[in-house]
């Protein structure tokens, strides 16, 4: 019963995500897209903007892009 309620809540939340993320739902699980969206909202605005330009579609891509942005270039 709890799992059904959580699934229903996740489906309700998909209406709140941005249209860009909604289009990505076809190839990804809803929970992954919501997780990426939540993680991106927690980033500093300049890092978020730069990472968003690359349109990451998995957690690994997001983390790799953030790490690349945080690594100082010599």
* Tens of each residue's pLDDT in the chain, 74 residues: 566 666 666 666 666 666 666 666 555 677 787 888 888 888 888 888 888 888 887 888 888 988 887 776 55
Q: According to the model, what pLDDT value does residue 17 have?
A: 61
Angle between helix 30-41 and 2-13 (nearest 10): 60
Q: According to the model, what pLDDT value does residue 2 have?
A: 60
Residue 62: CB atoms within 10 A of its CB come to: 19
């Amino acid at each position: 019963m709890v799992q059904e309620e959580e699934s229903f809540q996740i489906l309700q939340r998909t209406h709140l995500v941005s249209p860009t993320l909604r289009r990505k739902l076809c190839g990804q699980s809803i929970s992954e897209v919501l997780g990426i969206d939540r993680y991106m909202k927690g980033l500093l605005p300049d890092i978020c903007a730069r990472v968003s330009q690359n349109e990451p579609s998995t957690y690994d891509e997001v983390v790799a892009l953030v790490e690349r942005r945080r690594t100082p270039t010599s």
